[in-house]
Structure 1
Amino acid sequence: MVVAISKAGVITGGAFLSNVTWETLEKLDADLVGTGARLTYLDGYLEIMAPLSEAHEEPKSTLGQLLEIYMRMRNIRFYGRGSTTIGIKELGARKEPDESYCLGTRKSVPDLATEVTVTSGGIDTLEIYRRVGVQEVWFWEDGVISVYCLRPTGYELVSKSELLADLDLRSIEFYSRMADQYDAVNAFMRSL
């Protein structure tokens, strides 16, 4: 697809580009400020995503609220980093997680990143997170959470979170699928 920007500065499409230098990435990033575009970069490949839809943003927000309520109610110290861009030129990788958290203390690299998948892209997201050193990555797709934990050889798909070992993922999935976000968060809070 081709990226098109309207006179109002709104992106109307997405793109997957190859042979993109880090300098070009930085220029595009500056040019697209305020458009809502999200840039993902790995080894010369660049994916530009148009502003995120309600189908993406609502479950992202719900999942984030559920996680934060769980951590607060269990007295787990955390620092939300949101979608702060992670990655540097020397790694050849850059990504904006949907949400990210440092557990225990603030760190330059989050311990946990979450991704809500509505459409699949062409860049290996886990490879970006591996290079950066994110310990755990969660993918939420159609109300199902897949957890990947970083190992010396790469990420391993696991059945439960290692950072939040007592968290019942099936419960988070259930509440994340509820139609009403407010009711879902309150019901989850009562269940704890």
Structure 2
Amino acid sequence: MNSPVLEKPTRQNSVLLYNLTWDALERLDVELEGTGARLIYLDGFLEITAPFFEEHEEPKCTVSRLIEAFMRERGIRFYIRGSTTLGKRKDGARREPDESYSLGTKKPIPDLVLEITVTSGGISKLEIYKRLKVPEVWFWEDGTISAYCLQENGYERVAQSSLLPDLDLVVLAQYSRMADQYDAVNEFTQVIRGM
């Protein structure tokens, strides 16, 4: 199977369904409510993933707190969107980001999406976010942050965020790897105050 909507082979903790209508997606969403399963949909492909807990949630929370500390220290108004479901039938795409933020004002589509990658494969997240016109997507994987900015022809990997150009992503990644979240946020806050 060769499809532009799929990345590498699908994950071990997921099921991939083909030729699924939007109506079928909505029915499954209701049936799986409360299970913790995440639904990712693009052009008839549906990936249902089992929840990850500590290996996923801990880095998500740490990176999120670090980003929020930076924005607070810089006086950047932001609104946490969390893992609000993005995408509608007209988009042919749907995804729940791990974390998301609107900067400046509340918006229906967040400015920044954070994805924590603990496994690879499945439906292309960047293809979904491109369709939804999310300006920036950051991936955290094994303590490294990769940032992608939306351009006219799709996402381009960048070394520095367009939304938060003063935030050093290498330093952010360094503090995301600290074992103690509380210490990581405190020490990171001291570092950014000195910048």
Q: Tell whether the structures are fold-level matches, with TM greater than 0.5.
A: yes
Alignment of 1:70-149 (within 5 A): 70-149=70-149
Counterparts of 2:14 and 2:91 in 1: how far apart (Å)? Answer: 24
Determine which structure has greater relative contact order: mean sequence separation of CA pairs < 8 Å that are 6+ residues apart, divided by chain length.
Answer: 2
Counterparts of 1:19 and 1:150 in 2: how far apart (Å)? Answer: 28
Counterparts of 1:134 and 1:166 in 2: how far apart (Å)? Answer: 20
Q: Which runs of no fewer than 5 residues in structure 2 stay unpaired?
A: 1-12
Partner of 2:151: 151
Following superposition, the deviation at residue 118 of structure 1 comes to 0.2
Partner of 2:62: 62
Counterparts of 2:72 and 2:97 in 1: how far apart (Å)? Answer: 21
TM-score (structure 2 length as normaliser): 0.90
* Structure 2 counterpart of 1:121, one-letter code: G
Counterparts of 1:187 and 1:127 in 2: how far apart (Å)? Answer: 36
Following superposition, the deviation at residue 82 of structure 1 comes to 0.3
Following superposition, the deviation at residue 53 of structure 1 comes to 2.2
Aligned Cα root-mean-square deviation (Å): 0.8
Counterparts of 2:120 and 2:53 in 1: how far apart (Å)? Answer: 14
Please list every run of at least 4 consecutive aligned residues from structure 1 whose deviation after the TM superposition is greater than 3 angstroms.
Answer: none
Counterparts of 2:127 and 2:96 in 1: how far apart (Å)? Answer: 13
Following superposition, the deviation at residue 35 of structure 1 comes to 0.7
Aligned residue for 2:157, secondary structure, equals strand
| 1:71-103 Cα shifts (integer Å, max 9, x gaps) | 001000000000000001111000000000000
Partner of 2:5: none
Counterparts of 1:49 and 1:87 in 2: how far apart (Å)? Answer: 18
Counterparts of 1:22 and 1:52 in 2: how far apart (Å)? Answer: 25
TM-score (structure 1 length as normaliser): 0.92
Counterparts of 2:122 and 2:35 in 1: how far apart (Å)? Answer: 21
* Structure 1 counterpart of 2:57, one-letter code: E
Counterparts of 2:187 and 2:60 in 1: how far apart (Å)? Answer: 18
Alignment of 1:13-32 (within 5 A): 14-32=14-32
Aligned residue for 1:28, secondary structure, equals helix
Counterparts of 1:167 and 1:140 in 2: how far apart (Å)? Answer: 15
Counterparts of 2:181 and 2:143 in 1: how far apart (Å)? Answer: 13
Partner of 1:45: 45
Partner of 1:4: none
Following superposition, the deviation at residue 183 of structure 1 comes to 1.1
* Structure 2 counterpart of 1:180, one-letter code: D
Following superposition, the deviation at residue 121 of structure 1 comes to 2.8
**Share of identical aligned residues, percent?**
63
| 1:108-129 Cα shifts (integer Å, max 9, x gaps) | 0000000000001310110100
Report the count of equivalent residues.
180
Partner of 1:10: none
Partner of 2:191: 191
Counterparts of 1:152 and 1:168 in 2: how far apart (Å)? Answer: 25
Following superposition, the deviation at residue 180 of structure 1 comes to 1.0
Aligned residue for 1:46, secondary structure, equals strand
